[in-house]
Structure formats: C-alpha cells, structure tokens
Chain A
C-alpha cells in the first residue's frame, strides 16, 4: 500500500509570492492534517480536514489556508510569503480521527528568499 505522498518535495519562492502544496493520503484515509516544522519550534499544527470539512485549525494567520477534495487529497496554500514561512511542511493522513493512527508523508521543504 502506497504511503502518504507530498508534492513537490522541495520548493524555493521569494517573499510576497504564494505557494500551493499537495498531499495525497493513503488510499481509504479520510482525514488529512498539516503541520509546519521549523528548527526550535517542533511541529506546529496547521489544520485538519475530514471528509472535505475543516475540523480543526491551529494558530496561524489567515495567509495559511487549505482544502480537501472528494478523493481526500488535500492542498494547502500560503499567500504573501514571508521569510519566516521557510519550513518543512508535513501532512499526515488517517482513516478516522484517532491521532495515533496518523501516517506522515516525507514533507515539502519550502525555502523563502
């Protein structure tokens, strides 16, 4: 069974641009969560989608948004990029809502210049 895939794996953008990251969950999984990992901050929860509905949201500005499609694939968008948005963005999928059943993808490394 294929794991969680994230595209692209690496991305370089400049300040002020916007970016869209994609996450394909494990087949059959209905929940997708997004996290931002930065040095010294660990993983910070961005948002969670379940059956196309945002179920939970972390403390990030409105520049960060996401959505989930009917096939459970999810995208997150960051508009008006700032240098501090440079991070590893991870998504995790699970069949249900139990957090101990989340499987993480390898992440997208975003660098903002």
Chain B
C-alpha cells in the first residue's frame, strides 16, 4: 500500500517557467513533509520541509504548499533552471523523528 504517491513520473518545463510537482498521501498520522532532489549517481539531498501546522513554506525559488484536508502537497519552483533537472521525491513522517515514507519520485526536466 503506497502511503505517499507521486502520480506524475515525469514533468518537462521550459527554463524560466514554473515547475509544479505534486504529492498525495493517505495516512492522516503524517504531520511532517519533506522534498528531496536526486541527481544520478548521487544520494538524495534535502530541499525543503513543512509541518502540518503550516500551509506554506518558502525557501528562495522553492515553495511547498500543504493542503491537509485534501492530503496533498506540492512543490513550486520559480523560476525553473536547467540545473533543477533531477528526480524529486516527496516524503512524509508522523513527527519529525519518525521514519520517512517516500513517494516514487517525479523526474523533472527543464529545457532551455
């Protein structure tokens, strides 16, 4: 049973435009959410997180939105750059110290 779902395996966006990556979860116990970026031959790197007490968190070009009633979160990248091309994973946990449950990832390609 996939508790964290990323239904779009891939996304292609033009440089300078907005990239929106989506993630849905089913477990109502999740209250902490994270996004990771992964380049080939490297481990994932932490991008941004949000706790359930907030509905938005911003860090530079990256913004994460959380809709608790819909059990949905999204990552916005504005403006998108070619260096953003990578696989993006969302992850969730029940508290900031519990194990992480990851989605299956979305491959983002940013073209010139």
Chain A positions near chain B (C-beta within 8 angstroms): 4, 33, 35, 40-45, 48, 56, 58, 90, 92, 96-107
Contact = CB atoms under 8 A, between A and B. Distances in A.
27 contacts: A4-B43, A33-B100, A40-B104, A41-B104, A42-B6, A42-B89, A42-B102, A43-B44, A44-B102, A45-B99, A45-B100, A45-B101, A48-B99, A58-B99, A90-B43, A92-B43, A96-B97, A97-B96, A98-B96, A99-B34, A99-B91, A100-B32, A100-B34, A100-B46, A106-B42, A106-B43, A107-B43
Nearest to B104: A42
Contact-size category for B? 20 to 34
A106 B45 CA distance: 10
Contacts of B36: 104
B42 A99 contact: no
Interface of B: 4, 6, 32, 34, 36, 41-46, 49, 89, 91, 93, 96-105
B23 to A, nearest CB: 11
A55 B111 CA distance: 43
A98 B97 contact: yes
Contacts of A104: 36, 43-45
